[in-house]
Amino acid sequence: MEIFEKYNLKNNPFVITQTSTPNGFWIEGLGRDKCIEDILKRSAWLNSSKIVLNYGKYGYGKSYAAKHYCSDKVLKSLFDNKPIPYTLYLKFPSNDEPIKEIFQQIVDNFDFVEIKKVLAKCGAFNIGKAVSHCSDNPFIKNIISGIFSQMDDKLLKNDLKLYLFGNNDLKKLSSFGIQRNLSFDNDYISFIVALINFLTYKKLVYPCVVLWFDDAEGISTFSMYKIRLFNAAFCSLMENTSNSLIFMNFTESIIFNWKDINIYFQKSLESYIRNKIQFAVTDKNIYKLYVSKCISKERIHNNIDNNFYPYMEEVIDSVINDMGDYLSFRSCNLAFSDLLESGAETNETIIDISYYHRVKDNIWVLSLK
């Protein structure tokens, strides 16, 4: 934006939303990159389904970890152009039918036409054998077979998704051996299991499927009945696939205490939890590095001595210190964004410590302290 050009910036470096593509800067500072990447690589190599729990306070980058590692570009670099996992970023279910909601999210995000094209490029991938391998349920096998070996693109784009959501005339699909709708939690999980097993057949095209759930602390609002449904469904998913990797992001808050996590996982499902990763940063130098990298990404010209321009370095230190217990990557985004926009509005040539002291009481995130 032109308003920030006087600061040698293309845009505000700190306007980052949940829908934006993550920079990935924070991942180095957290030291969580190697841990997550090792888990991804092991899952691609081994035949072992597992669950990974990520936890930490709001603003430490759990959502951005999910977006970062659900990016094909990031995965291609990580896997050196070898087959990469099929990844889906999902929201933890919040309605009265959690398993159906997960199923619908997966169908919403799944491009059957594109996947067929990807599979067709692998000459060694045998669709018939992959279908045979995917499930013991003849009805579910018929659906998978119809999708990947019989239906044309028009059916896949329109009638198939209508069918999967329970809104289609079965006559259009009866020739594929599909005689009824998917109606129960067992149907939804059986379909997800079959889809994962089909895609990861012999790891020829996709070595594993990653389902990354954000906002998993929502489980704390579940009734005991819904918790049992969740455990039964996910246990079935783990038991019947060998190439599933599930990440769950939990944000600690007044209503969710990480120490209570075992309340929500029954023993049968708990055995599949192989890693617990804490997202937390106490080293203030890491936040300074984060701020400088964000600015660098939006800088127009690089011939500047001050890595923090248009902020003076002492402003960076003061903001980070003044945030106290509220210090996080997200609070840094909020504070430095507000400062930049305020400075631009009042035509400040540089954001120095005197200007910061004049306006800091108007910066919302600092008022929380």
pLDDT at residue 6 is higher than 50 = yes
Residues 158 and 306 in one domain: no
- pLDDT for position 22: 45
pLDDT per position as a tens digit, 275-298: 999 988 888 998 898 899 899 989
Q: What is the 3-state secondary structure (H, E, C) of 146-183?
A: HHHHHCCHHHHHHHHHHHHCCCCCHHHCHHHCCCCCCC
Residues 287 and 362 in one domain: yes
How many domains, the chain?
2
pLDDT at residue 81 is higher than 90 = no
Tokens of 352: 């120095």
Residues 299 and 267 in one domain: no
- Bridge partners (DSSP) of residue 56 are 251
pLDDT at residue 126 is higher than 90 = yes
pLDDT at residue 155 is higher than 90 = no
pLDDT at residue 365 is higher than 90 = no
Domain boundary among 278, 303, 321: 278
Binning pLDDT at 50, 70 and 90, where does residue 64 land? confident
pLDDT at residue 40 is higher than 70 = yes
Comparing 21 with 272, which gets the higher pLDDT? 272
Domain boundary among 258, 278, 298: 278
- pLDDT for position 369: 57
- pLDDT for position 254: 85
Q: Residue 338 belongs to what domain range?
A: 2-15+282-367
pTM summary value: 0.86
DSSP annotation of 223 reads -
Dihedral angle sign, alpha carbons of residues 296, 291, 215, 280: positive
